[in-house]
Each structure stands twice: as C-alpha cells, then as structure tokens.
Structure 1
C-alpha cells in the first residue's frame, strides 16, 4: 500500500501496477514522462483532449522532450527551422495538425496518445478518442438533464481540489456563468472571479459580466483592455504560444492570467468546452442553414435565415443580403463533403496564402492541408451526421490545437496560472457526445440543453442571449500612430526578406488599402496578425 500526499507519486505507482493501461484510470489534464528502468524505456503521455502540451524531437538516436518547444531548442544540434507545410496548415485551421508543429522535426504528442521510446525505436499509441457512435436511445430531456447535473456537479467538485485558493473566469456568457453557479453551490463561501472588458464596445461584454457577478455574488476583478495593451504584450504572447496566430485574442487572455497571478491566485476554473460539446458556436448553425438551403438552392426564403448568424459582428449586421447569399453560397451543394461545415471558415483563412512569397508557393507546389487532414479522420467519421462531424472537427482541430493552447494553457501558464475545465472532464464529453443532436442544437437555438439546465440558476438575460464569440481588436492594435516600434520592424523589407514566408509587395498593398480606407475586413485582420506573429516567431526562434 502507498501512503503519500503527492499526486505525482500516485501516478508513478499506477504506472508500476498497470503500465500504459493506467491512462484509462486518470481524470484530468496532464503531460508526463516516466523512465521504466525494468523495460529500459521511457513512457510519455498526454491528456485525452490536449490541455497540457508535450513536444519532442528524435534525432541522432536521441529523444528530447519538453512542455515548451524553446526548451528543446536549447540542444545545439537541434536547429530551429519552419515547416512550410505546417505553416500552411496553421493559416488554414489556425493550428497545425498534430503531431506537426510550426517547426520542422519538432513534434507534439497528440491528445489521448502515449509514446514509448526504447532501443527498438519510437512508437506512439492512442488510448482514447472522441466518438459519436452510441447516441442515447429514447432518453427524455428531463432524464438527460438530471444525469448531466450529477455528472457536471462531480466534475466541478473534483476540480476544486487544491492546496491553494481556486478562482474562476466569468465572461458574462452562459458557459462560465454555469461553472461559477456550480462552484457556489458546492462551496458557498467567497469566490474570486475575473474577466476581460474592452474599450471597444464591439468586443465588450461588461454589462453581462456585471449581471452575473451580482446574481452569483462573487468578489470580482476585471481588466479593461485597449488596442495599445494588445500590441504592447503581443511579442510576449508569441514567445509563449510558439506558433503563428491569426488572431490577437490570446493577448487579452495573457493579461487576464497576469491579473489573476497578481492577486496571488494560481488556479482558475473556466467554461471552455461547452460550445464544442453542446453545439454553441455559430458554425454549427451555419452548417445547418446551408444544408437546408442546399436542398432548395433556388429558394429566396431559405437564404434569409443567414441573417441569424454572427449577430455580434458589425459587418454581418450591416451586410447586404445579396452579398451574404454570395458569401454563404460557397460550395453550397457540396453537402457530401466530409468538411462541409468548415469549408467557409477554411476558405476564409486560405486568403492569407494569397500573400505568400513566390519561394513558399513554389515549395508547397499544390500542397493541400485539407487533403492532409483526411488522413487523420476517425474510421467512423463517415457514419456520423453533419452535427457530429462538425463537432469532431471543432473539438479535435480548433479547440485542442488553438483554443486550449495558444488561447489557453500556454498563455495562462506564462503567468503560472493553471486553468481547469469542468466541461472537458472525459465523462462529461462522452455523455454530451451521446445526446441527441436536437438536445444540443434545437432548431437554431444553440446550447439548448445547457440553457434548460441553467434556467433559474443564472440571470435569465444570460440564458437567453445569443452566443457572442470572444474576439479582440487587430487593426487598431497594429495600424495606429501608437503602435510599438516592433510592428514597424516586423513589417520591414529586411524581415520579409529574411523570413521568406510572405511577399512584401502584396502585404504592403494591403496595408496601403487599410490606411487609405480606414477599414479592414476579417480576412485583412487575419493577414495582419499572421504576418506579424510569424515574423516575431522567426525573429525570436530562428534568426536568434
């Protein structure tokens, strides 16, 4: 029998008894390495959904691994170099497909996987995967709500275990409000909560945050983030993300975790995962509307449903119906495409590649990240319905690769803050994956199940409000007279020439257009963030 006050020692003992099968007994977030001196091999493992990072390199018969890529680059024989194919993936999906990273010969252990390295070489294996094969049969929504309540209550309860104070993020949306409501139910005492506000009202949710704070009775602190704040901390953010980003959204999250740490708190509970598990994003509604329209493509009424999408985006509220119809009509009738739900988003991101250098275009020579992704689809993918396919893509690609990484663990741990995610308890994930689709997306009512669950437990205005995706300013962060000196440097001919990724003339034309009109599209903003973040990464990791 083992007596210990250390969770790490329990892990070693579990491995000693069960070997790799111990992974199925773990619940939580982890990345660890164990040297098995009996077998003379090293065993690496990563949590099911990819919250904690784990990178490795194998060269010259030597395995080097770390939780940050920069640690691997301390080995002089490992030379930093971009992987052009993986950069192309990042500019499509916002992340590289694991095990790839932005760097050549640097790999990331995929979520739900383990790795064994011994004299015979390296071997990876999967111990858990997302699936949607076992939908509940005949379950009533009331029974499902009761079962979920018990499960989620327990998920929150075990994530409150800590030898330090546990706080929570409270964004003003239903996800974080739900986690806070459950925390208060389990531990009714004082709870510290934290949030981000924006000076730009198009991004700000302070009104709803204040409602949630008052209703849930928390001790609350927030930061009001300006465009200058974003541009000032952006290089630090890229140092920690270790990958290009197409958004500035990680920057305010970095500042938020800094605020948490300044208040001597090391652990926060957050609402990440609810949108993916319970169909909260507009991309799920978008796929449903497009499929409905595709069944009668000549209909004049069905495209009007497009106005229900992305109501928080000014450009969507003001868009001409004809332009909306043209934009959302992209590959409208290609409903058999396995990636139908995400074709529009990926096509939007692909515009970044129009600004590639001739050198990079020549190297890629028709390489398709989407074709590459087909090699990683689960065996049962073709059997799932459109919602299940889109949930798998959103969870496995966007959430694990970007949301929990560049916008999650990497920039929280930059300030030594640990995020915990009750919606990403594997039991909660597996339960949600078994729910009928109309429990999650009921008509065009997103997260219908969670809204039913939280009625009366959080403010009614938050239950009923439409999903507002978290975003942050881009153009105003980099294209003003107040922009930091590094922005000018990252957009200089010298850096364009050395990095060799983007075409300076093409990007300069875009910048001139933005300066002349004072306006930028979503795609323009993505190009701007991509170029600056890529050049920062090049300067920090490759040039130096």
Structure 2
C-alpha cells in the first residue's frame, strides 16, 4: 500500500502551493518510504508516497492516460488485475508497467465510475479527468484502505490519513464532539465522522465526484443480506463447504501475489490458522509467521503461545515470537495515538504496533491476517446472545421503552440490541462530561442519529442484522482501521485480509444462517472446512477474547506521564471532562480488588487518557 494526498483549489487560477503539498504528503512517509512523487497542474496537486510491492521498478505513480488527460494515484492493491489486464489489452489498451493499480486508469476510460464494479481489491484512489474538470475518488468495499477529505472555503483536500490534511495552512483544528460521543458508545467512530471537526472519512463502498465546488457522494456496493421473504438455499452442507474452500483458496492466492516477501500473523485461533494452512496449500510450502506472546507469569491468562506453537509446528513455518512486556505500554501509547488519529477503548494496539515492527525488521513487507471471519461467520458472543434472546420473550417496563426509542434512532429496529443498553449508559457518559459539554450535549448526542442505513437490516434475520452492524462499526471503524491499516503501515507493512474478498463475502451472505451459527456452535461452516487443514486441538479450543491490560494497570504503575496527562488540573483546563468524577474513577481503578471484565465492561479511563493524548499530539484546543 501507499499514502496519497491532494489539493483541488476551487479557483482554476489558484496554483497549488508545492511546499504545502510536499509537507502534506511527507506526513505519510511511514506508508510509503520507498519513493515519492508530486504532480501539480494549476489548481490540482497530487502527492504520493510509495511502498513498493508489485513491479518494483516501473510501478511509480501517478499514472497517466496516453493523452495525459486522466491522472491517477492509488493506495492499495487490485487483486484481480491480471484478469482485468487481459481484458483491457484485448480492447487495445497499452500498459506502461506491470503494476496492478494501472488497470484502474484504463477501466475508467472504458467504463467511467462503473469500473468499481469490476474491482476485487483493497484500494483508495483519486483520479482527475481534465476533459471533464472532475475529480473522482473511491474507497474499497470494506474500507480496508482509508481515505479522508475536507471541504474548505478555498479547496477540496484529501489524504490517506488525517495528519496530511492537518498540514494544510487554512485548516482549523477542533474536536468533533459527535466523534467523541461515538467513541464512548460504539466500537469506534461511525463513518464518515472522525474526531476532527470538518474532516470526514469516505464511507466504504462509496465514491465521491468533485466538480464546480460541489462534492457528490454515491454508494456503489454494500453488504446486502437477503431479507426474510427470500427463499433459503437448501443445498447439502458439502456443497457449501466446497464452495467456501474454493473461494478462500482463490482469495489467499490473490493476496500472496507480490514481488516482495510475504508472511502471516498467527494468533493461535481458528481464523489465522486456517489462513496459514491455506497459504501452505497454495504455495506448496509454508511462509513466515509472526505471533505476540507474553513472558510474565501474571499474563498467562492471555497467552496463546501454546496454540501458536502447535500451529506453527504443524505448518512448519519459519516462526517468530514477539515477547511483549506490558511495561512497554506507556512508552508506545503516544505512537499508537499518532498513527491511529483517534482515542482507543483498549491498549492492545500497542501489541499490534510491536508485531508489525518485528515484521519490518525481518524485511517482510506484506502480511496476511484473519480479520473479517468473526463478522462473517458469527464469532462474537453477541451472536449467541441473540440466539438465546430470540427464544426468551421479555416484558418491557418504562426503561425498556425508552431504550427502544434510542434503538429505533440508531438501528431502525427497537428490538435490535447491539453492545449495551444505551439509555442506561447515557447517564454514565454525561457524568464524565464537563458542565460545558453537557450544556452542548443535545447538539452532538450520537444516539439521536442513525448509526447505519436502517434499510440494510430491516426485515433481515437477526444474525444478518448483527453481522451488518459489525461490518460497519467494529470492522471498518476499528479492526481494519486503527488496529489494522494504521498499525501495519506505521512500520511500512501492508496488511491483507483473505476473509475480506468481495467474491467470498457475496457467497457467504447467501449461506443459510445455521451454516454460520449452528445452535450455539459459532463459525460452523468454517470449522467444517478447517478439519481438512487444521489440527482438531485448534478447532475445538474455546473462543479466546484477547484482553490487554488497561488504564487500571497504567494508573497503578504510577507512571509520571500518565499521572500528568490525567491530572485534575489538566482535565479541568482542557474542559471536556468533569475533573471531580474523573478523580473518583481513578481512585476506583487504583484499588487492588478492581477488575474490568471486557468486552462487557468499558475501560472508561483509557478512552479519556488516549483522548488527552490525541489533544496533545495534534494540538487540538481546549473546550
């Protein structure tokens, strides 16, 4: 992957300032240390940082159409580019490189924005059509590659990360209070909202057309689960397993294509073990694997080393264990927030950063990972809870009815429960907010706004409702964002996710739900496939939810900088939170007998701590 940035001034005579464009683009050095390029023509400027993965010599960007009227920069990979390339060559197009993303240019010449329906990949690109005087931007189906934008009085700005846009001299830095409120209520920010006022994230499966000082956002793909009125497929189980195997093998094969070394993460769980085994099947040999483990006795409850070693031994992979000591958290947390550009709800991104750092040291540039399987096949506890609730009718009191109203706002369905009772939690949130923030609360309350497109879960099976919301909130907003893309690219490593293949997802969404959650057996069909590739000990092990030490441990460590950033005086001066209530929480969290039970309990102080780091890191103002 790479890093892209750009400026499109509204007035054609307003020349783009090269120094500004260079500064914006160089904030993305970590995403592309191998090369840089800049294109400026009058009021348009494109900046590019390259991480060389395919066609190391000739794959430099921007790419230009033969008459140079169309200019392209792209962050990402097009996995089906070889098939598309053959099709385009047959139509008479002549390529200048063997780089995968060059196909976008010629697909645009053939199909316009319809090109998006032909791509299988992870991408965020910007394309300028000089004949139309039109800027066209798009983001992949699942939001693997980030793309942020801002509309100012003078220009349209975009970048792979927010920090690039913040370098534009006329940007005013302010906290988006709805973004802050979302972090407390949801797994992460809900796209297009960010923590930065006036800076938006282009939604997954969407494109933008910028022309005549107008920005038009359109959807080209979404995870459209069948509604209950559609007939359910009744093919034999073996058919589904065979189809899943074929699609996963193709997905892995696509994602192994690179002109640089490729490895994979091995957690010791089912998802990464399946991916590792399929890599070995495709290549005829195993690849390099990487795992996080914990040397301290007190961490053995979260240590998966035993299963990692079983699986790496089974695969005969060249395995690297990264022993992580939690004393390193306070040294790394600032870096994590710089790359994440958002507060966090837990600290395990520090492990992800350490893991990608070791991958970089081993000179591996591409890593495959198992994200997406839990959301596709029902791997979280919430899917089982839904199953139990559906068989247990409840009477509703007044509090239930008030909660129903919030759920109607968020999901369009008063009976859909996601992570918590938001009506009860609202009191907790507002008790943390300062008096000033509570005065403004009605203007930024995220519970009043739809969290998703209601039509996408209306009339769907409860399993599909949760899966859709998980894809939008947990996966796109967190797992392949601050936990995925940001933590791998921080160390010049590209993450690829075989479960997030559009052909695979299109198949899985039509599977009968009991192929995913069979009674109380989660990931049923994936487990049936896994018996062919993975030791039974891995398949039958209990689902493991990794829990990293949180704010309680940081406070008990009496770290000087943690004490400073969480001090009463600083909290009061910044004005976002109630310093007296934060002090009460700190006292509670420091008690020897205090225990949080994630994912059922929120680590409220880690959100506040990392939000305060965000303010300091990016120079955001006090309220």
- The TM-score with structure 2 as length reference comes to 0.78
Aligned pairs for 1:321-332 (under 5 A) are none
Q: List per-residue Cα deviations over 1:38-69 (Å, max 9, x = no partner).
A: 11011110000001110011011410100111
Which of 392, 395, 413 pairs up with 2:489? 413
Contact 1:228–1:482 (CA<8 Å) still a contact in 2? no
Residue 5 of structure 1 corresponds to 98
Deviates more, 1:51-60 or 1:485-494: 485-494
User: Residue 320 of structure 2 aligns to a residue in which SS?
Assistant: strand
Which of 349, 352, 355 pairs up with 2:432? 355
User: Residue 210 of structure 1 aligns to a residue in which SS?
Assistant: helix
Residue 273 of structure 1 corresponds to 372
User: Residue 361 of structure 1 aligns to a residue in which SS?
Assistant: helix
User: Residue 43 of structure 1 aligns to a residue in which SS?
Assistant: strand
Residue 35 of structure 1 corresponds to 128
Residue 565 of structure 2 corresponds to 490
- Structure 1 stretches of 5 or more lacking a match? 298-329
2:417 equivalent to 1:341: yes
2:389 equivalent to 1:290: yes
Cα drift, residue 223 of structure 1: 1.4
CA distance in 2, matches of 1:19, 1:378: 29
2:160 equivalent to 1:67: yes
Residue 256 of structure 1 corresponds to 355
Which has the larger strand fraction? 2
Cα drift, residue 338 of structure 1: 4.7
Which has the larger helix fraction? 1
Cα drift, residue 542 of structure 1: 2.7
2:195 equivalent to 1:102: yes
Q: List per-residue Cα deviations over 1:383-433 (Å, max 9, x = no partner).
A: 101111111111111110111111110111111111100100011111111
Residue 76 of structure 1 corresponds to 169
Cα drift, residue 20 of structure 1: 0.7
2:493 equivalent to 1:394: no
CA distance in 2, matches of 1:296, 1:512: 38
> For the structure 1 residues 394 and 53, does the alpha-carbon distance in structure 2 shift closer, same or farther, using more than 3 Å as the test?
same
Residue 337 of structure 2 corresponds to 238
User: Residue 423 of structure 1 aligns to a residue in which SS?
Assistant: coil
CA distance in 1, matches of 2:148, 2:378: 30
2:244 equivalent to 1:151: no
Contact 1:132–1:434 (CA<8 Å) still a contact in 2? yes
User: Residue 417 of structure 2 aligns to a residue in which SS?
Assistant: helix
User: Residue 34 of structure 1 aligns to a residue in which SS?
Assistant: strand
**Bigger relative contact order, structure 1 or 2 (CA pairs below 8 A, ≥6 apart):** 1
Q: List per-residue Cα deviations over 1:476-498 (Å, max 9, x = no partner).
A: 54123363x32122112343134
CA distance in 2, matches of 1:34, 1:85: 31
- Structure 2 stretches of 5 or more lacking a match? 1-92, 397-402
Contact 2:174–2:620 (CA<8 Å) still a contact in 1? no
Deviates more, 1:198-207 or 1:209-218: 198-207
CA distance in 2, matches of 1:520, 1:369: 28
Cα drift, residue 467 of structure 1: 1.5
CA distance in 1, matches of 2:280, 2:556: 43
RMSD (CA atoms): 2.3
Residue 467 of structure 1 corresponds to 543
CA distance in 1, matches of 2:461, 2:224: 12
Residue 50 of structure 1 corresponds to 143
User: Residue 125 of structure 2 aligns to a residue in which SS?
Assistant: strand
Which of 578, 583, 586 pairs up with 1:511? 586
2:442 equivalent to 1:365: yes
